Amino acid sequence: MPRSRVSSAVNLPPFQHLLDLHSRDVHRFLVATVGRVDADDCYQETWVAALRAYPKLRDASNLRSWIFTVAYRKAIDHGRARRRAPVLAGNVPEAADTRGTPQDEPDDGLWSLVRDLPDKQRTALAMRYVADAGYDEISAAMGTSEDAARRNVHEALKRLRTEYKR
């Protein structure tokens, strides 16, 4: 007789506890990754997706990395959707692009350089310095090795150092 598949019970803390612990860091990560304008939408999508998946979670050993993985994937989804969005034609006045610039800090060109980094470098840099994540968390969230996470941060910093305030 075949054995039925029994789900192992995982002792998960209440979802609200996860939200209370990591909401600020997740939002800061998304602001740095997708920009201030779009961060709130990605933030909401992140927590809705996490809430849906939370009861089915089989391993609660590193919930911080898990929620950053969800946020990272929502940022990727946002970037893909943005590339598929129609482009307006005609004479449209240019608007200042403040996407990703913290309101309480002056934008002296650094944030536009951060936005121009390749996706993996920008994500690794944001997780490292905005969310204060370790390389193990970065690698878990991005699905890479720790060496690749270190390399992405290193390459991002190297590029920023050469291009910032030339």
Catalogue all structural domains in the chain, each as residue range(s) with its CATH number: 13-163 (1.20.140)
Q: For residues 37 and 19, what is the distance between their CA atoms, to the nearest angstrom?
A: 21
CA distances from 104 to 40, 101, 107, 129, 153 (A): 17, 9, 9, 17, 25
The stretch 44-66 carries a mean pLDDT of 92
116 phi/psi in degrees, rounded to 5: -85, -5
Q: Residue 114's pLDDT band (boundaries 50, 70, 90)?
A: confident
Q: For residues 162 and 114, what is the distance between their CA atoms, to the nearest angstrom?
A: 12
Q: Residue 101's pLDDT band (boundaries 50, 70, 90)?
A: very low
